[in-house]
Structure 1
Amino acid sequence: MNESDTLVRLHETLAPRLRMFEAVARHQHVTQAADELGVPQPTVSRALARLQDELGFRLVERRGRGVRLTRAGRVLLPHVRRALDGLGDGAAELADAAAGRVTLAFLPTLGAEVVPALIGGFRADRPGVGFTLVQDVWETAVGHLRDGSVDLALTSPLPDEPGLRAQVLHTQPLRLVVPARHPLAGGSEVAMATVADEDFIMLKAGRGVRHLTDDLCLRAGYAPRVAFEGDEIDTVRGLVAAGLGVAVLPSAPGVPAPGTAELAITDPGAERPVGIAWPAGPYEPPAVSAFRTFVLAEGPGLVARGLA
């Protein structure tokens, strides 16, 4: 039996007593309810007795050859029916890759082109799948994965910790961005140790590029001296162009931004891997699994074009 079949069976194993109570209430007869459910009449009688003992209320009482609901049974019955309907809907959704909902966290830089293209391409074949979108920075997105509030995250860098899995879709080289008139601007490459005494312009804490920059500087033997912090990569580039410091950023599309120069960083690991991450739990809803498979197949090209 596969995972989806097992989950569908939850409807059968979670609420057998409630199902028996509902059938008895509908037929007002224990034997007829047992016949409908395909179980022996004593099984239904014992299930009702156990349910009543656990609740501490009588739910049915004898009436001739049949039974009728007590006041407590009449109060409980509509709630039982809603619970059974909800379990049935949930079991069907868990087993159906063409329905369900995917909660996706993603970096702001992927929101303009990459995420719409991925969702649009996926829903062309599975229009019944809904999406809840959470646009957030790296640190917050990984936190959402840890607490289970999102199913998948398109983020960078990728988490490497127990309980989470990840796969790279595209890797961007990181560059040292300096003002156009900086003494290093005429070069082609640089080691991070060379700029240990420079003022750095950084993205704010929690951003993936900030984490990567801090790590590169730390491995070069120093903590960067932060002059300014920004929320977005374009803001950081603008502050560099104004001569206010240097920055580590993904390579600019095309040519460097006006007023800046970019140098290749020779230190190992000077790159920004962008990919998809997900919880490594024992179960993944079919709709989530199907979308993750689609992203792994189509994402590398879409991410590369979207960040170019």
Structure 2
Amino acid sequence: MLQLRYFQAVARFEHISRAAEELNVAQPSLSRTIARLEAELGSPLFDRQGRRIRLNQYGVVFLRHVDRALSELDDGRRALREARETGLGRVGVASETLLTVAHLMGSFRAAFPGAEVRLFQSNVEEMDRQLRAGEVDFCVASQPLTAANLDSVELLREEVLLAVPRGHWLDGRESVTIAEIADEPFVTTRRGNWQRALLERLFATEGLTPRLSCEGDEPGASQDMISTGLGIGLIPAMSRLAGTDSHVPVAWVHVAAPNCYRVLTLVWNRDAYQSEAARRFREFTVSRPLMTHRRPDPRLGRESV
């Protein structure tokens, strides 16, 4: 098992020194362990060019089986640990924005206080990796995930609106086309987040490229940036003002473009072990609409993003 753990780490980093640092072992000891494993298997697993190593075709094949084997062993350890404990075990959830699932997670904790909950903010690439590695049990995703052996269920489908600062020339308009806003500066997220992906997809359909004035990592902050006049932006309909008195004043405009909506899905690895907490979380989440877990923010006079 130690050889397999060491091989998995070296394969991930393709660098002996970095893998040794991650494993907290001496580099010569790690090199000898990999050499013994290759001798036992009768095949080299890496191509070596000086101090650089690359996983070769045999290593790629072997790594797939090692990942599955070690994942099963890790699941077995978790099952034993949870069998010894009185709680429900742990459930890990990743989401592109924590504000989207904050009330959902709070409702679940209130319903199942014996469950240990871990919440991660991740972009779509990180979600794929976290599901493969077993770091999370579920992802609440606004974009398709590509990892193998995934199941999903739709939680919410909602229109995405254009938010503009008060006094903007679009303030008061019912709808707008992409061509009309081709030269407007946009507040959006970095690549890897759903807002950015949707913006670029809508503009690409018209053969255009959006102008960006602000890029961030937290989609929930976009509305605040727009209200200051930094630009306009795409915001999910659930964030529309609940009343007229708000600390984040923006105007809302429909986008006259097909597929200008967001789909939130709950995604999990069908082959991965799930604790009792994880099983309860899935049942809890899919048994009621996501909007029922949301409540107005009295400080802002709007629903949380």
Asked if Structure 1 and Structure 2 have the same fold, meaning a TM-score greater than 0.5 normalized by the shorter chain, the answer is yes
State how many pairs are aligned.
219
Is the counterpart of residue 114 in structure 1 residue 104 in structure 2?
yes
CA offsets 1:60-117 (integer angstroms, 9 cap, x no match): xxxxxxxxxxxxxxxxxxxxxxxxxx97984584799973322222331135422111
Contact 2:104 2:290 in 1 (8 A): no
RMSD: 3.3
Closer/same/farther in 2, CA of residues 223 and 280 from structure 1, 3 Å limit: farther
The correspondence for 2:158, drawn from 172, 176, 196, is 172
Among candidates 229, 235, 238, match of residue 215 of structure 2: 229
Shift, 1:152, TM fit: 0.9
282-291 or 263-272: which moved more? 282-291
Q: Determine the structure 1 residue equivalent to 2:300.
A: none
Q: Distance in 2 between matches of 1:113 and 1:255?
A: 20
Instruction: Quote the residue 1:74 is aligned against.
Output: none
Q: Which residue is equivalent to 2:176?
A: 190
- Residue 241 of structure 2: which of 247, 253, 256 is its match? 253
Alpha-carbon separation, structure 2, partners of 1:113 and 1:139: 24
Of 176, 182, 194, 1:208 maps to 194
Q: Which has the larger radius of gyration?
A: 1
Aligned mate of 2:279, from 283, 289, 298: 289
Q: TM-score under structure 2 normalisation?
A: 0.60
AA at the equivalent of 1:151: D
How is 1:126-137 mapped onto 2 (pairs within 5 angstroms)? 127=114, 129-137=115-123
List 4+ stretches of structure 1 deviating above 6 A.
86-89, 94-98
Residue of structure 2 equivalent to 1:276: 266
User: Could you tell me how far apart the structure 2 residues matched to 1:118 and 1:296 are?
Assistant: 12
User: Counterparts of 1:181 and 1:296 in 2: how far apart (Å)?
Assistant: 41
Q: Distance in 1 between matches of 2:162 and 2:108?
A: 31
Distance 1:246 1:89, change over 3 A: closer
Distance in 2 between the 1:305 and 1:142 partners?
Answer: 30
**Alignment-mate amino acid for residue 242 of structure 2:** G
Identity %: 25
Post-superposition offset of 1:137:
4.2
Query: Would you say 1:241 and 2:241 are equivalent positions?
Result: no
Residue of structure 2 in register with 1:153 after alignment: 139
1:268 shift after superposition: 1.7
1:100 is aligned to 89
* Residues 92, 148 of structure 1: alpha-carbon distance in 2 compared, 3 angstrom cutoff: closer
